[in-house]
Amino acid sequence: MSAIAHLPMYDIAEVRPAVADLWKAIAGKLRVSGLADVPVGLAHHLSHHESWCSPELLLGQSCGYPALHEFRGHLRIFATPVYNAPGCEGTTHRSFVVVPANAAFKEIAELRGSRFALNSWDSNTGMNLPRLAFAPFAQNGRFLGEIVETGSHAGSLGCVAEGRADAAAIDCVTHALLERHRPEVVAKTRILAVTAPSPALPFVTTRNASESTVEMLRQALTEALTDPASEPARTALFLKGAVAADEGSYRVLLDYEEKARQFGYARLA
């Protein structure tokens, strides 16, 4: 089988051309480095989970939480992106807890018993970070009244905007992209609170990648993200650069999980 590349995490329709251009820049650097079997394009036909499980994954981007849990045996984290969207600082990002613009909520504690829109149960920004934020207010392991699964951050934001949910936790980079491209939706919501920071969504490769391949990936990524030719794509994606990272760089996600557990709130509920 041929190697695959997949960058699905911020691939909303409005910025898909920029994501494609970003990959072209990275792929070009990889070819110059002498790496064989560099994919021409991105594997859009694959789901997140299909690409993360594939032993043919050359370069991808995943959520940090599943990379440390269900897909730990499949993925190797090799870099952390640096974004300049509101809510990002250095290599970290966070979630914005959003509610309808006209809702009366003033603080997180008032969300008790509310209907929460969840993009995915294995999402750090959609589940793990709000779980930590809600944990101090949970009683007998519960805080929310109902959880509705949406499948994406954009779907969760839309659910809140339309009044079908009382709140959602939205990755701040996604929020910035939607504010830029779908302002009429974002305007129907407001930010109630921000979560603790965590490392931004990691760049990953297959777990069995060689050390030489990992170093080529890091070098190509660094060069591509500092190349003036990629500036339009980077600007479109709020992407400034990337720094080398590994699994240990994401340990804080497990720490947050443990803190929530200590409050008796092991599962978002």
Q: What is the pLDDT of residues 9-53, one digit of tens each?
A: 998 999 999 999 999 999 999 999 999 899 999 999 999 999 999
Other beta carbons less than 10 A from residue 78's beta carbon = 22
Q: pLDDT tens digits for 147-167?
A: 999 999 999 999 999 999 999
Is the pTM value of this prediction over 0.85? yes
User: Residue 137: inside a domain, yes or no?
Assistant: yes
User: Residue 172: inside a domain, yes or no?
Assistant: yes
CB 6 within 8 A of CB 208: no
Residue 252 CB-density burial (10 A; 0-12 exposed, 13-18 middle, 19+ buried): middle
Q: Are residues 78 and 204 in the same domain?
A: yes
CA 97 vs. chain centroid, Å, equals 15
Mean pLDDT for back-to-back runs of 10 residues, the chain (269 residues):
92 95 97 93 92 96 97 97 98 98 98 98 98 98 98 97 98 98 98 98 97 97 97 98 97 98 98
> Which are the contacts of 215, defined by CB distance < 8 A and separation ≥ 6?
none
Q: Are residues 194 and 99 in the same domain?
A: yes
Domain boundary among the residues 175, 198, 221 is at 198
Cα 268 to Cα 144: distance, rounded to the nearest angstrom: 8
CA 191 vs. chain centroid, Å, equals 18
Q: Which domain covers residue 237, as residue numbers?
A: 4-83+200-254
Question: Could you tell me which residues are beta bridge partners of residue 92?
Answer: 89, 199
User: Residue 138: inside a domain, yes or no?
Assistant: yes
